[in-house]
Amino acid sequence: MSAKNYYVIDTSSLIELKKFPNDVFPSLWKNMEALIAEGFMISHKEVLKELSYQDDTLKKWAQKQKKFFKELDAYQIKIVKEILKKYPSLAKSESESPSADPFVIALAIELERDPQKTLDPSVKKRVVVSEERLRGMRVRIPFVCKEYGIECITMIEMCRSEGWKF
């Protein structure tokens, strides 16, 4: 088995998927589900909470992905506190619900620091997938990922990285 990237996906990228409906782009969704089944694509339970405010096919699809959304653990809490101490504005979102952003980043950092996963030869690198863009010093997912040395790409860039063509 060749080395693969390990993707941690943000709410914005899952919402971006709605532009590519399953009935028109079934292979995209099957490829995503294959990555999830293999354990190479994950997200955080906080992302599922953000998706729960929507009432659509994406929410229904997400709720069926049992291996996809990871629970919060003590190490992630420590990392989230560290992130929010440095970047308190990351916790603020436009909506009334809490932002999943620091939890997504913490999950990627946890994977990067986990000696069990770091030594896994099947993993090339850990990558956060988000539609947010790096814009100067604005504190968003790409900025914080850059500060922690974690690559941040968009959904389309992930498809290219995986060699998917539709």
Domains of the chain by residue range: 4-162
> Are 111 and 8 spatial neighbours (Cβ–Cβ below 8 Å)?
yes
User: Could you tell me where the beta strands, DSSP code E, fall in the chain?
Assistant: 4-9, 41-44, 69-70, 123-129, 151-153
Comparing 49 with 91, the larger pLDDT belongs to 49
pLDDT digits (tens, 9 = 90+) for 50-59: 988 877 889 9
**pTM: predicted TM-score of the whole model, two decimal places:** 0.88
- Fold classification of 4-162 is Rossmann fold (3.40.50)
Q: Is the CA virtual torsion 63, 68, 126, 82 positive or negative?
A: positive
